[in-house]
Chains A and B, each alone.
Chain A
Amino acid sequence: MSDGAQKWLERFRLFRGRHKSSSGAVTEAEAPLGESSGLNFIMGYVRRDKIALAGTIGIAIFVMWSVIQGILEQLSGYLNDTTLAYILLPSNPFAFNFKLVLAPPSLANFPVGLMGYDATGRSILSRILYAAPKDALAAILVVTSAIVIGMLLGITAGYIGGWADEVLMRVTDAFLAFPLILLAIALALVLGNGYQVVLVALVVIWWPTYARFFRAQALSLKNRGYVEASRLSGLSSFRIIIRHIFPNSIDPIVAIATLDFGNVVLTYSVLAFLGIGAEVGSPEWGSMSASGLQYVPHVWWFALFPSIAIMAVVVCFSLLGDRIQDLVGGRISY
């Protein structure tokens, strides 16, 4: 093992020690604060790891583009000025051009035709770029709401235990047993179709995993020395959960959440592929692939490029998430 690696491993042990040791207060003093705090440590590691770095850059591009384009799309709605939504795009993603129906990718009229044209001659590249904010928003909203709900129920179940645990876990099991896609279809069916409904359906199917996870964390943490000490010193359960259980169980969640951002994008696209939550006329990666499939095998670009966009985003999140999981789980492989 190289010197550099040794140094990082030591730092990593320090980082783990601060969070996981039974006497948190003592090691807190040993670890120089700020320098090896969770996020800084992860970012420091990511900067050295080429694969994770590639994933991070991909995610950064996806998120930044989504934020800018999303703001423009919202603004254009408020200001009633449609051109604003297309200002950064190669072309208007809704403009038909019947001369270019299903035209193959070409360098002519760069970059509009880079990914070819769809069945009504609209630029596929523009439509992919236009649809990105939806996926980003879905990923962020669904994962954060699932974490909040899962945390509330999971920590309650794990920390209080007894009947509360039994009841909450049976309900969680019931939700976990539903196959994701079927439950989402059922919910979209009863709540009505639309983007918001799909987000609700995704949250409904996503929170149980986090509830399980936070429960396991709370169970393992509640008998630690420092939790018992604070209980003896008269801290209320609520404050113990806020001060001790929650901060100490959030680290492993980071890895799972990173992987889940990708999974939400994937599941969202699958739902859109099946025609759930897709609004007529509004481009969406999954529904674009679905309509493109009708023209396979002769017109491969229509279905392929939206699918590749989904895949690229998911791969980026998995690359980073895998690395974070290795770090948090203590399996660094140099």
Chain B
Amino acid sequence: MASRFLFFVVRRGVNALVTIIIMIALIFMIIHLVAPSPTDMARLYVGSHFNLQQLVQIAHRLGFDQPLYVQFYNYVVGFFQGNFGTDTIYGIPEILVIQEYFPVTIDMVLIGTFLGVGLGIFTGAIAASNRNTAPDYGIKALYLGTWAAPPFLVGVVLQLILAYDLGLLPTTGVADPILLHPAVVTGLPLVDSILAQNWVYLYSYIQHLILPALTIGLISFGSITRLTRATMVDALDKDYVKLAYMKGLPRRKVIWGTAFRNAIIPIITLLAITFAFSVGGAVVVEDVFAYHGIGFFAVTAAYDLDYPAILAITIIVGASVIVANFIADILYGVMDPRVRLT
């Protein structure tokens, strides 16, 4: 059993690695379709304020005059060493820019995903145990509304009500701008401020985090609700639930203790998809809340035609989604021993 599990992990790991390399190849292909010649590539990286001779020199310095397979090899090796080229706007290595923006998004998306999953599982279970009654329809209306609404609408409505009208939370930004960022240890501001025991920054950071994370949670909880409701409805018809009733357990215990625990296992597969969806949604949410994460940076980079940045962001976010998928696969194998590990 143990060796089979190890084989499963290794196989999935190799698959994930191959997928990442194919992804890099795709991005590599896209960028070389746009800029077929070395000087075109150089122009992409440094802008158009250089003459041909200078461009040739720059292309040579950045290695664009090498054969394509050498460049591709360097690109892949560079990726695993954390080297994504130089940012065309800031003129510093891309990885530094991304290190600045990505952790903020990771904090937000992870918390938003957990909010969404928690809300989805809870509402799904309630809907299933009150099938075809008012709570069921109410929950359906709620998730259809937030699911079908464009993410920016959800964000703006929350911003209007909670920040502008009630004044409970700050409207935009990552933290109070007068506060100093705590020393970087892990990169995640949430963890860093706790490590540095900078409670003022932590308080301000969490205050600013609530609205974007809540928006992410609201736009992503619908699919979890649907799946939880479906699996709960199936589980509630099973014999072991009837047995639990016959043993004289109260309804509440049967629903939350017996049916619920068996019904949430398939949700794990949805976790990675929800994460990927949330990262995509983060682009819009960060735009609405002027939240300076990777999505905000991606949109700015798109407007500035900062190709290396947008390609690096796409690869890094894609790779993190693949890693999330990999973790979800393994978790599923651990949680449900009946799953065939292939």
Interface on A for B, CB 8 Å cutoff?
170-171, 173-175, 177-183, 185-190, 262, 266, 269-270, 273-276, 286, 289-290, 293, 296-297, 300, 303-304, 307, 310-311, 314-315, 318-319, 331, 333
**B179 contacts the other chain (Cβ, under 8 Å)?**
no
A and B contact pairs by CB, cutoff 8 A, 5 listed: A174-B23, A178-B23, A179-B277, A182-B280, A274-B302
Q: Is the CB of A177 within 8 A of B23?
A: yes
Q: Is the CB of A179 within 8 A of B317?
A: yes
**B26 contacts the other chain (Cβ, under 8 Å)?**
yes
- Which of chain A's residues has its CB closest to B316's CB? A182
Known A174-B22, A187-B30, A274-B287: A179·B153 in contact at CB below 8 Å: no
Q: Which of B18, B150, B164, B319 has the most CB of A within 10 A?
A: B150
Q: Which of B160, B298, B307 has the most CB of A within 10 A?
A: B298
Q: Is the CB of B288 within 8 A of A293?
A: yes
On chain A, the residues within 8 Å of B302 by CB distance are: 185, 188-189, 274-276
Contact of A296 among B30, B156, B303 (CB under 8 A): B156
Beyond contacts A179-B277, A293-B152, A293-B288: 8 other A-B pairs, Cβ-Cβ < 8 A, are A173-B19, A177-B319, A178-B317, A185-B299, A273-B150, A297-B160, A303-B153, A311-B153
**B190 contacts the other chain (Cβ, under 8 Å)?**
no
On chain A, the residues within 8 Å of B311 by CB distance are: 186
Q: Is the CB of B318 within 8 A of A178?
A: yes
Q: Which of B148, B164, B165, B230 has the most CB of A within 10 A?
A: B148
Q: Is the CB of A289 within 8 A of B150?
A: yes
Cα A77 to Cα B57 with chains together (Å): 48
Per the 8 Å Cβ criterion, residues 1-58 of B in contact with A are 15, 18-20, 22-23, 26-27, 30-31, 33-34
Chain B 298-342, CB-CB to A under 8 Å as 1, else 0, gives 110011010100110110011101100100000000000000000
Q: How distant is A213 from chain B, measured CB to nearest CB, in Å?
A: 14
Cα A180 to Cα B23 with chains together (Å): 14
**B243 contacts the other chain (Cβ, under 8 Å)?**
no
Q: How distant is A142 from chain B, measured CB to nearest CB, in Å?
A: 16
Q: Is the CB of B156 within 8 A of A303?
A: yes
Q: Is the CB of B156 within 8 A of A293?
A: yes
Q: Is the CB of A289 within 8 A of B153?
A: yes
**B217 contacts the other chain (Cβ, under 8 Å)?**
no
On chain B, the residues within 8 Å of A171 by CB distance are: 22
**B259 contacts the other chain (Cβ, under 8 Å)?**
no
Q: Is the CB of B148 within 8 A of A266?
A: yes
On chain B, the residues within 8 Å of A270 by CB distance are: 150-152, 284
Known A318-B144, A333-B132: A181·B23 in contact at CB below 8 Å: no
Contact of A333 among B22, B131, B288, B313 (CB under 8 A): B131
On chain B, the residues within 8 Å of A310 by CB distance are: 149-150, 153
Known A177-B318, A185-B302, A303-B156: A314·B23 in contact at CB below 8 Å: no
Q: How distant is A115 from chain B, measured CB to nearest CB, in Å?
A: 15
Q: How distant is A101 from chain B, measured CB to nearest CB, in Å?
A: 21
Chain B 126-152, CB-CB to A under 8 Å as 1, else 0, gives 000001100000000000110111111
Cα A315 to Cα B142 with chains together (Å): 11
Q: Is the CB of B230 within 8 A of A331?
A: yes
Q: Is the CB of A179 within 8 A of B318?
A: yes
**B276 contacts the other chain (Cβ, under 8 Å)?**
yes
On chain B, the residues within 8 Å of A314 by CB distance are: 147-149
Q: How distant is B103 from chain A, measured CB to nearest CB, in Å?
A: 17
On chain A, the residues within 8 Å of B276 by CB distance are: 177, 179
Cα A273 to Cα B317 with chains together (Å): 21
Q: Is the CB of A177 within 8 A of B322?
A: yes
Cα A186 to Cα B29 with chains together (Å): 12
Cα A289 to Cα B281 with chains together (Å): 16
- Which of chain B's residues has its CB closest to A290's CB? B152
Q: Is the CB of B153 within 8 A of A189?
A: no
- Which of chain A's residues has its CB closest to B281's CB? A181
- Which of chain B's residues has its CB closest to A274's CB? B299
Q: Is the CB of B307 within 8 A of A178?
A: no
Q: Which of A173, A175, A182 has the most CB of B within 10 A?
A: A182
Q: Is the CB of A173 within 8 A of B230?
A: no
Cα A307 to Cα B230 with chains together (Å): 29
Chain B 274-297, CB-CB to A under 8 Å as 1, else 0, gives 001101110110011000000000
On chain A, the residues within 8 Å of B233 by CB distance are: 331, 333
Q: How distant is B146 from chain A, measured CB to nearest CB, in Å?
A: 10
On chain A, the residues within 8 Å of B288 by CB distance are: 293
On chain A, the residues within 8 Å of B149 by CB distance are: 307, 310-311, 314
Q: Is the CB of B164 within 8 A of A297?
A: yes
Q: How distant is A289 from chain B, measured CB to nearest CB, in Å?
A: 6
On chain B, the residues within 8 Å of A293 by CB distance are: 152, 156, 288
- Which of chain A's residues has its CB closest to B323's CB? A177
On chain A, the residues within 8 Å of B314 by CB distance are: 178-179, 182-183, 186
Known A177-B318, A186-B311, A189-B310: A170·B22 in contact at CB below 8 Å: yes
- Which of chain A's residues has its CB closest to B136's CB? A333
Q: Is the CB of A273 within 8 A of B156?
A: no
- Which of chain A's residues has its CB closest to B283's CB? A181
Q: How distant is A330 from chain B, measured CB to nearest CB, in Å?
A: 11
Cα A269 to Cα B149 with chains together (Å): 11
On chain A, the residues within 8 Å of B26 by CB distance are: 174-175
- Which of chain A's residues has its CB closest to B152's CB? A273
- Per CB-CB distance, the 3 closest pairs between chain A and chain B, nearest first, are A314-B148, A179-B280, A174-B22
Q: Is the CB of A185 within 8 A of B298?
A: yes
Q: Is the CB of B153 within 8 A of A182?
A: no
On chain B, the residues within 8 Å of A319 by CB distance are: 144
Cα A315 to Cα B147 with chains together (Å): 8
Known A173-B15, A185-B310, A186-B310: A307·B30 in contact at CB below 8 Å: no
- Which of chain B's residues has its CB closest to A205's CB? B280
Q: Is the CB of B22 within 8 A of A296?
A: no
Q: Is the CB of B22 within 8 A of A182?
A: no
Q: Is the CB of B150 within 8 A of A182?
A: no
